[in-house]
Structure 1
């Protein structure tokens, strides 16, 4: 029986954190603070990840808000520790953001519209997926460099 369970354990994430937060400024701020705390606890540099979480949580607050529905933040370090995956899911599945190739650069005097450009600049990969209804998930991945390879 243990032989049947072992392969499933190999596919499991090494570290994972998930939380539901209110789609408010406070919820978006808390998402960043919780991400920073957990990544610090895991020994993972958090500056870029925290900025990505802040942008995706702010988008969930502004563009994904449905009264009475929370958004979810998921952080996962995959087996082997080579990739950090950040996911923010909200209840507006019908409002998918533009994909990485379709992000529009706002006018210089525009006060908003740069969040996904920041995600694009910081993440190694990112995208969005619909479902399950009525949700959508915007995700970003960061390739993690082992501490002995950082200079």
Structure 2
């Protein structure tokens, strides 16, 4: 039986060479997640890209890494890249490859108090998924398509 990571790995297209790249390790804490959002906003501003919805996606993925991907003494990594074709790729990698994310399912029953972050990512991103490895890591990624600059 295929996992979500297996399926996403097979269908993820080969990425074109990035026009811009940014990567930083951050502490797997609430403070690290907040810093990820602030650094992403600064980077996007410097690249002349709109802050939202990318800033919201970074906030969600970083918060998940700090909450669910945390291993004491280990960090998570935020990476941003922009291609010449106008695609922004957001990646958040953590050390908990054994704990793959699954989007919440909205039901008519009593709503859950949390767990809606990946539904937000799914709505805002043009594509998203999970890449497993190298062991023991996983990377949750999301892509946004922007019109290329002329």
Q: TM-score, normalised by structure 2?
A: 0.83
- Deviation string 1:9-35 (CA, Å, 9 cap, x unpaired) is xx5311000000001110000000000
User: Looking at CA atoms only, which structure, 1 or 2, has the larger radius of gyration?
Assistant: 1
Per-residue deviation at 1:145? 2.3
The runs of 5 or more residues in structure 2 that have no matched partner are 1-15
Q: Verify the 8 A CA contact 1:123 1:140 in the aligned structure 2.
A: yes
Tell me the matched-pair count.
134
Q: TM-score, normalised by structure 1?
A: 0.83
Find the counterpart in structure 1 of residue 120 from structure 2.
Answer: 118
Structure of greater relative contact order (alpha carbons < 8 Å, 6+ residues apart): 2
Alignment of 1:1-151 (within 5 A): 12-78=17-83, 80-98=84-102, 103-105=104-106, 108-146=110-148
Q: Which has the higher helix share?
A: 1
Q: Which runs of 4+ in 1 moved over 3 A?
A: 106-109
The runs of 5 or more residues in structure 1 that have no matched partner are 1-10
